[in-house]
Structure 1
Amino acid sequence: MTQDFDLDRYVRNSRAVDLSGVAWDQISAHPVSGAEARCLTFMMDIETHTVMYARDLLATRAAFDPEVTAFMSCWIYEEFWHGEAFSRFLGEAGFTLAPDREKVTAASPYPTKTARNERIRRALGRSVYTGHLVSMLGSALTRDFVAIQMTWGAMNELSAINSYQAMIERSANPVLRDILRRVIKDERRHFAFYRAQARMRLARSARARRLARWAMQRLWAPVGTGLRPQEESDFALVWLFGDDAGLDRMRRIDATIAELPGFAGATLAEDARRRSLERMPPSRVPELSTDGALARAGVHRERREAAA
């Protein structure tokens, strides 16, 4: 067990995100912008498909580590419920999603949006298999592959925390802000595990530091890239982080990752922001936030209480 993370305590206390007391009946009384709905749909898809990342991770030497697998057993479960929390919020706010436009309510059976989730996974096509094989091959070639994966996971979890915090700052819906704060509590624990594992593995191997730095600089992309269309990833990043405050937040992410052995001076988040802004200038965000644009992206506003 790493000294920086109490795995025993985490496993004993792991559970679905606590949604007791959430004012679901008040969601429709507050606005949900088109930008929020589009971004939250993207976030929901990421959380729901954590299992795809876990599948690749378990195809590597990570599967031999009882601490990693114990964490992942809880992590996948918690991330699933994050996705379901976002799914219900969107349903209560009057949004349905392609392909079947399921109306999600408190009475909906779990898992929700099965048709959507199956379509997303099938749309990945051959990349589902090639990604799996690459993970297996990389792990076979070097014992340090798990260090790369733990660093990758730390970056993704830290990015998720900051994305939810940025959403809280932008949202006028108090119920959404409440749900996001609850989810962030889980994400902080997830980040703490990945960071502790990455720090331990990077500290003990110069080769691990070199490989991880190379992989993160050349291969890492914001979480959700590849799972969903590039436009959705860019939209979320530009809407959440495209202004000066967003740049400051990206730099704080980089400063935190730079504390890992071998990552001094890394600018992963800032570089990702720059690439997204090159593909999608902020001036495009309003046109992509209209009800018509949302519908073309498979996000349908069924009620009209809130303006886009």
Structure 2
Amino acid sequence: MSAPSAFDVRAYMRDPQVLRPAEIEPHVMGTLSAPALDALTYLWAVEGTVLGQMRDILITPTHAESRTTAFLSTWSYEQYWLAETLHTVLAANGRLPQTPIDTALGRLRRAWDDRARPTVDAISSNLMGANVVGAHMVTGWLDTAVLTLAYHRLGEIEPVLRGLTEAITQVKDRHLCFYAEEAGTRLARSATARRIARTTVTRWRFPGTRYAGADPARADIFPLFADPASRLALEKITQTATAFPGLTRTRPVHHQCAPERRHVPSR
């Protein structure tokens, strides 16, 4: 008999943490610095990719995992409203956000993803079976961990955003708990799942860089990680990732989050 799960998916579904535009504190409107707006614009673009992420996951055997799909149904609802709230903050500060422009390689990747990848991935992942789910859980954890750190740092750099960023990190913390528990359980019980996850993690990219490349992230997000405390936090993310079964000595975050030498003013 398997051990009982610590993460209560039913309770999570009954009580989503939804951030709505109407709940934004008035002092956030029209007061944000340019670096903060740049970071929020990037984060808005990433948080708004819910449909694409759901497509990538649900064409695989993960869609047959009732616990995972139940979680994702509420996760997507929370993500939708998070993106809407960020859009409202940006608009109130005179920023009409747009997603980063695709690179030439990114345009090819997008065409592949839209036309061929769903079929190819569906065939290959179904051959792997349920062992692919562990890899999805690890990459979900990685994406969420680095974004949570970005929100935390943004709240430190831009104090008027602290209430909003703290609310967002609370949402993200529950996501992290689910991903970590599922990844640990699934990787521990299958050598094939560990092999697939290891390959997937070595190919992991920072959220939002698949089509636009790394330059927008380097310009708008990585400066948030420039201080020593953030570097330590990134190292902790790496250490946690390598602690998942089968992922020893993988360092997916280490080489991707080096900030450019750009001053981010504190307020």
TM-score, scaled to structure 1: 0.75
Does the CA-based 8 Å contact 2:30-2:94 persist in structure 1?
A: no
Select 1:201's aligned residue among 173, 186, 193. 186
Partner residue in 1 for 2:127: 141
Secondary structure at 2:245 match in 1:
coil
Secondary structure at 1:263 match in 2:
coil
Q: Aligned runs of 1:45-194 on 2, under 5 Å?
A: 45-98=45-98, 124-143=110-129, 144-172=131-159, 174=160, 176-194=161-179
Partner residue in 1 for 2:11: 9
* Partner Cα distance (1:23, 1:255) in 2: 36
- With over 3 angstroms needed to count, the CA separation of the structure-2 counterparts of 1:233 and 1:127, relative to structure 1, is farther
- 1:257 equivalent in alignment to 2:241: yes
Does the CA-based 8 Å contact 2:134-2:186 persist in structure 1?
A: yes
Q: Which runs of 5+ in 1 are unaligned?
A: 99-115, 290-308
* Partner Cα distance (2:51, 2:167) in 1: 21
* Partner Cα distance (2:68, 2:246) in 1: 22
Partner residue in 2 for 1:103: none
> What stretches of structure 1 move > 6 A for 4+ residues in a row?
none
* Partner Cα distance (1:133, 1:206) in 2: 26
Partner residue in 2 for 1:27: 28
Does the CA-based 8 Å contact 1:18-1:182 persist in structure 2?
A: no
Counterpart residue type for residue 41 of structure 2: T
Deviation at 1:23, TM superposition (A): 2.0
- 1:236 equivalent in alignment to 2:236: no
Partner residue in 2 for 1:109: none
- With over 3 angstroms needed to count, the CA separation of the structure-2 counterparts of 1:138 and 1:87, relative to structure 1, is same
Of the two structures, which has the highest relative contact order with CA contacts closer than 8 Å and spacing of 6 or more?
A: 1
Q: CA RMSD in A?
A: 2.5
Superposed CA offset, 1:161-181 (max 9, x none)? 111111112114x1x221111
Counterpart residue type for residue 60 of structure 2: T
Counterpart residue type for residue 42 of structure 1: Y
- With over 3 angstroms needed to count, the CA separation of the structure-2 counterparts of 1:2 and 1:191, relative to structure 1, is farther
In percent, how many aligned pairs have the same letter?
A: 23
Does the CA-based 8 Å contact 2:139-2:201 persist in structure 1?
A: yes
Superposed CA offset, 1:268-304 (max 9, x none)? 2112224xx5xxx31xx36xx9xxxxxxxxxxxxxxx
* Partner Cα distance (2:5, 2:91) in 1: 42
Deviation at 1:28, TM superposition (A): 4.2
Secondary structure at 1:248 match in 2:
helix
Deviation at 1:8, TM superposition (A): 1.1
TM-score, scaled to structure 2: 0.86
Select 2:198's aligned residue among 209, 213, 217. 213
- Equivalent pairs counted in the alignment come to 256
Deviation at 1:206, TM superposition (A): 1.3
Deviation at 1:134, TM superposition (A): 4.2
